[in-house]
Amino acid sequence: MNSSSIYLGRQPILDRQGLLYGCELLFRCAQSQDRALVLDDSAATATVITHAFTELSLGNALDGKHVFINVGEELLFSEALEFLPTHQVVLEILETITVTPRVVERCQALKARGFALALDDLLEITPAVQPLLPLADIIKVPLLDDWENQSALLAYQLQPYPARLLAERVETLDQYRKCSALGFQLFQGYFFARPALLQGRKLSHDKLTLLQLLGQILADAETADLERTFKSAPDLTMNLFRLTNSVAAGRRTQITSLRHAITLMGRQQLQRWLQLLLFAGSHQEDPGRNPLLQMVAIRARLMEMMVLSQTPPDKALADQAFMVGIMSLTPALLDMGMEEVLSQLSNLPPRVREALLSHTGHLGKQLLIVEALEWQDSEQLPSLLAEIPGLRQETLNDLLCEAMAWAAALGQTAALNDD
């Protein structure tokens, strides 16, 4: 088994405010076309980790956020850990490790080096795990069948220890709220991206305006029509002026009118900016801490680069891939079915529409790959990759790191002009 057989994945970790605290990096090994193995403590995984943090600058890509990495017994004693940034990495000690005096001593040494330690999948406090509890900075509790009673008991029993509690597998808003009331401070799971969590939420005027503007751009509307729509949303107009002024600063161009700003921005970049704004929430919110914006930005950029990595690269298809990545999460954002969303965007290209509605066609296959990465469905990844000639596992990992770096840079307007 070599490092090129490892898939890299990412799962968000949120705080009590629902903002992005960090992410867990997941390394999955696909041994064959129809079978996947979890080899987090293998030498191959260690190779991928060091490659990601050295050659791919993954630490920079994560924009200072905390990075959780699973550590089995083999990796715990590996020199590979010496390459990781201690100020950013949280070493997640797997529950499969037998806690011996040697393990405790190694954990103490890693803490002395500056690493934070997390205990993974704690179900009960046993004499075996007891020596690690005082060393833990974070304790992860999975929400299983009897999660309410189990979480309440553990939250009570862990009060004497300094560790922060993290609830894993949080899939509903009810779980999030109840765990928060129990004292949990961190949460892992895709509850924030579930359409059912947004029932009853009304579309704001801004969001409706964004959809209207997107529809106009896709229909190649006149600039005068765009100008009138922008004027109905002064805050969007203000942000457009700020963005174009930043873009134009190096050109010594003075923005003379709203029409001038629209023209200077260009239709393609204007379309991308509007798509990302759909997910940005409040215009004052730090996009780097918005988990849904991070997720959709990574999707869109990864899909775009997957097309551009092909030979020869198809720029028009890459633009459509970016659009599919953005639009694929609009049901979660707007509490609307995909059919209803697309009914307001009648001028979408057929390849985009079929990818979003049925996951078919070239773009639909790419969307399936991205979703499989997010959900760690490594059993499906080999067969999905086989349907896209020239796209290998190690290439996909590299592209994911680049997409994460691009998403982390969304707070800087220059990132929106990256081609």
Q: Domain with 31 in it: what CATH number?
A: 3.20.20.450
Same domain, 274 and 155: no
Last residue of a domain, one of 193, 216, 251: 193
Same domain, 309 and 375: yes
Q: Domain with 328 in it: what CATH number?
A: 1.10.3210
Last residue of a domain, one of 193, 225, 246: 193
Same domain, 133 and 108: yes
pLDDT in the model for residue 3 = 44
pLDDT digits (tens, 9 = 90+) for 239-273: 777 677 654 444 456 666 788 888 888 888 888 88
Report percent pLDDT > 90 for the chain: 27
Q: Does residue 199 lie in a domain region?
A: no
Same domain, 90 and 234: no
Q: Does residue 288 lie in a domain region?
A: yes
Q: Does residue 178 lie in a domain region?
A: yes
The band of 43, judged by pLDDT with boundaries at 50, 70 and 90, is low
Same domain, 254 and 143: no
pLDDT in the model for residue 156 = 93
pLDDT digits (tens, 9 = 90+) for 157-201: 999 999 999 999 898 888 998 999 999 999 998 777 654 333 333
Same domain, 132 and 232: no
pLDDT in the model for residue 235 = 64
pLDDT in the model for residue 182 = 93
Same domain, 282 and 399: yes
- The Cα 167–Cα 164 span in angstroms is 10
Last residue of a domain, one of 134, 160, 193: 193
Q: Which domain holds residue 7?
A: 3-193
pLDDT in the model for residue 390 = 81
Tally of domains within the chain: 2
Same domain, 106 and 218: no
Lowest model confidence (mean pLDDT) among 23-37, 207-221, 341-355: 23-37
Q: Does residue 198 lie in a domain region?
A: no
Same domain, 188 and 209: no
Q: Does residue 395 lie in a domain region?
A: yes
Same domain, 157 and 250: no
pLDDT digits (tens, 9 = 90+) for 282-325: 434 455 567 777 888 889 899 999 999 988 888 889 888 988 88
Q: Which range among 135-149, 208-222, 285-299, 384-398 has the greatest average pLDDT?
A: 135-149
pLDDT in the model for residue 261 = 83
User: pLDDT: is 294 or 227 the higher one?
Assistant: 227
pLDDT digits (tens, 9 = 90+) for 55-67: 555 666 666 678 8
Q: Does residue 200 lie in a domain region?
A: no
Indicate whether 36 pLDDT > 60.
no
Same domain, 258 and 154: no
Same domain, 156 and 218: no
Indicate whether 41 pLDDT > 50.
no
Indicate whether 411 pLDDT > 70.
no
Q: What is the mean pLDDT of residues 368-381?
A: 81
Q: Does residue 111 lie in a domain region?
A: yes
Look up the pTM and report it: 0.70
Rounded mean pLDDT of the chain? 79
User: pLDDT: is 252 or 24 the higher one?
Assistant: 24
pLDDT digits (tens, 9 = 90+) for 323-348: 888 888 877 766 678 888 787 776 67
